Structure formats: C-alpha cells, structure tokens
C-alpha cells in the first residue's frame, strides 16, 4: 500500500472499534504494525495505565522490544514512563547521549545493548487525561521529520479515542473493564506463545505471528484462541507455523 493508503487503513482500524467483536489486543498490535510501516521505525511498544494508575505493557512489535519495555516498568524509568507522567511527547532522543537520557540511564544502556540508537515517546491522551504511552525505537541514529512526528501523535491520539469510546454508549464507564480484560488477555497470550515456541523450537515472535494469523483466519479473538490452546481444547497442529 502507499503511505496514504496505510494511514487511511489505520483510521479504518480505529473506526472498527465500534463493532461488537472488537479485539483491543489485536488493535494495539495492528497499531504497532502501522507505525512501523508509516514511520519507518524499527520497533514499537504500547503501554496503558491500569486502574491503579500504574503502567502495563500491552503490545510490542517484537520480543526484544517487549523485554526492553518490561525492563522499563521494573526499573520505573524510560521514555514511556516519563511521557506518561508528564503527558508530553519527546522525539529524537539519542540513546547514546548521557545528557538526553539523564532521567533513565539504566533504560538507555539496556536499549543500546538491544541495538537501538534512537527513541521517541508519545502520550496516549484525551484532553488532559493520559491513559498510556507509545514508544518508537530505531536502530539508526535518524530523527523523525516534523511531518512524521505529527503522524505518530495522530496515530496515538486516534488509538486513545478508539480505546475509550469502545462500547461506552452501550455499557458506560468501560475504560477500567477494557484495561482489566486487556491485562488478563495479555497473560493468556504470553502463555500460549510459550507453548507454541517450545513445541516448535521456534522464537516467541514466530509463535505470536502464527497465533495472530490463525485467530484472524478463523474470526476468533486472540485471547479466546490462546485459552483454547492452554486448556487443550485446540490441537496445536491445527495452527500453521509461519
């Protein structure tokens, strides 16, 4: 697809949150994919605030990024953590610069070890309410253009609206319920990824890609598919290995 078509597809993804079988986890992973395509970055991570105000990792474009973001949460430092607290975007942070990473030196060191050189953090907010943050990573020392920065924030804003509006008309005050469900789904997905990866002797990324494709092909939610795999009601042999 062209850049314009990909951007339009991202907007359509957000509109699809109005349907009954909207899958929040898959939507946020799709957001990661769109960011990779549109902004030419190496990896993306998405964190959402839980009902107690703490951040939780919900989606990441690959396993390396997931591990790095989990480290940020454990160390309570990193661009996403700072972004969520301040509600302010930070672009073009050189991970090799002690001055630019003074607030999160341990995270910067771990990110460099993972092969990343530059990062960007964007708040996921609606008016004054910050519900999470999105982190972009690049293995190159390359800045986002002003136009790309606007696209990145637009995607984060649209995702925020999509998350908060989903089913609010029917159910009301759904934000807390959605986030709790997303966190529970995340646990199921991690378990299912581990089962497939061990069975296939494959990477966690390969296992996750297979789960996403199978869920879409059979019109299932990721969490539902993973629950079937975990409880043994689904034969792993029915899932096609990528």
Domain co-membership, 14 together with 133: yes
Q: Indicate if 104 and 218 belong to the same structural domain.
A: no
Q: Is residue 239 part of a domain?
A: no
Over residues 119-136, mean pLDDT? 90
Helices (H), the chain: 3-15, 24-39, 63-75, 79-86, 105-113, 146-165, 168-171, 175-200, 204-217, 222-231
193 plus 224 within the same structural domain: yes
186 and 162 together in one domain? no
Question: CA–CA separation, 237 vs 234, rounded Å?
Answer: 9
In this predicted structure, the answer to whether residue 3 has a pLDDT above a threshold of 80 is no
Same domain, 78 and 192: no
Q: What is the DSSP string of 29-50?
A: HHHHHHHHHHH--SEEEEEEE-
Residues 214, 100, single domain; the answer is: no
Host domain of residue 143: 3-172
The two three-digit tokens of residue 8, written as one number? 């339009």
pTM: 0.74
**161's tokens:** 């609206």
Residue 50 resides in a domain: yes
Joined together, the tokens standing for residue 237 give 């042999």
- Residue 240 included in any domain: no
Q: Are residues 166 and 192 in the same domain?
A: no
Identify whether residues 186 and 70 lie together within a single domain. no
Is 238 within the bounds of a domain? Answer: no
CATH code, domain carrying 149: 3.30.450.40
Do residues 161 and 185 share a domain? no
109 and 221 part of one domain: no
242 domain residue, yes or no = no
Domain termination residue (choose one: 143, 172, 201): 172
Same domain, 146 and 220: no
Q: How many structural domains is the chain composed of?
A: 2
Q: What is the pLDDT of residues 74-111, one digit of tens each?
A: 899 999 999 999 999 999 999 999 999 999 999 999 99
pLDDT tens for 25-47 read: 888 888 888 888 889 899 999 99
User: Does residue 237 belong to any structural domain of this protein?
Assistant: no
Query: Which of 172, 193, 212 finishes a domain?
Result: 172
Please report, for the domain that includes residue 219, its CATH number: 1.10.10.10
What's the confidence (pLDDT) of residue 170? 43
Question: Are residues 58 and 144 located together in one domain of the fold?
Answer: yes
């Amino acid at each position: 697809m062209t850049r314009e078509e990909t951007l339009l597809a991202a907007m359509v993804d957000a509109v699809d949150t109005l349907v009954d079988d909207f899958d929040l986890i898959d939507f946020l992973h799709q957001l990661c994919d769109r960011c990779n395509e549109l902004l030419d970055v190496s990896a993306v991570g998405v964190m959402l605030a839980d009902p107690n105000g703490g951040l939780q990792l919900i989606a990441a474009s690959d396993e390396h990024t997931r591990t790095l973001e989990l480290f940020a949460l454990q160390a309570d430092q990193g661009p996403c953590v700072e972004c969520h607290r301040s509600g302010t975007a930070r672009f073009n942070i050189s991970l090799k610069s002690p001055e630019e990473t003074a607030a999160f030196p341990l995270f910067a060191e771990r990110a460099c070890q993972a092969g990343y050189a530059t990062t960007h953090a964007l708040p996921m907010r609606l008016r004054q309410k910050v519900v999470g943050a999105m982190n972009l990573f690049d293995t190159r020392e390359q800045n986002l253009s002003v136009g790309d920065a606007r696209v990145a924030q637009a995607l984060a804003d649209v995702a925020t609206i999509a998350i908060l509006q989903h089913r609010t008309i029917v159910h009301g005050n759904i934000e807390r319920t959605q986030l709790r469900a997303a966190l529970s789904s995340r646990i199921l997905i991690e378990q299912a990824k581990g089962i497939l990866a061990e069975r296939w002797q494959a990477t966690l990324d390969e296992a996750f890609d297979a789960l996403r494709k199978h869920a879409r092909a059979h019109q299932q939610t990721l969490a539902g598919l993973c629950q079937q795999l975990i409880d043994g009601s689904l034969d792993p042999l029915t899932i096609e290995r990528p």
